[in-house]
């Protein structure tokens, strides 16, 4: 008799444990849907990485062009200042 009481308690505990596990289990269809969403998000992230790489390359090229323009502008301003100074300070005619 005592053995049957222990077995019943054990079975009841196992039954509650199984019910608890079933509550936490995910539906296979839900899992499949979530897996598909993860695949789509992974593809979107890969596309965004490619786009960001293109943007980064474009900005790198623009940065080089901007530096070149600033160098030419600075050189032109320096040359113009030198010519202006020379014309105002050097007298070629007696």
Taking only the tens place, the pLDDT of each residue in 31-85 is 899 999 999 999 999 999 999 999 998 888 877 788 888 999 999 999 999 999 8
Dihedrals phi, psi of 9, to nearest 5 degrees: -65, -40
Q: Report domain extents, the chain.
A: 2-89
Mean pLDDT of 18-25: 84
- What's the number of CA atoms in the CB half-sphere (13 Å) around residue 3? 0
> Which pLDDT value is given to residue 89?
83
> Which pLDDT value is given to residue 21?
83
> Which pLDDT value is given to residue 75?
93
Residue 93 confidence (pLDDT) above 80: no
Mean pLDDT of 18-34: 86
Residue 9 confidence (pLDDT) above 80: yes
Residue with tokens 């009481």, as numbered in its chain: 5
The separation between the first and the last C-alpha atoms of the chain, rounded to the nearest angstrom, is 136
């Amino acid at each position: 008799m005592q053995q049957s009481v222990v077995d019943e308690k054990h079975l009841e505990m196992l039954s509650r444990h199984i019910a608890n596990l079933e509550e936490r289990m995910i539906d296979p269809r839900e899992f499949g849907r979530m897996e598909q969403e993860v695949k789509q998000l992974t593809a979107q992230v890969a596309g965004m990485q490619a786009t960001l790489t293109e943007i980064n390359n474009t900005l790198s090229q623009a940065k080089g062009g901007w530096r070149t323009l600033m160098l030419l502008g600075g050189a032109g301003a320096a040359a113009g200042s030198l010519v202006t100074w020379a014309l105002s300070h050097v007298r070629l005619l007696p």
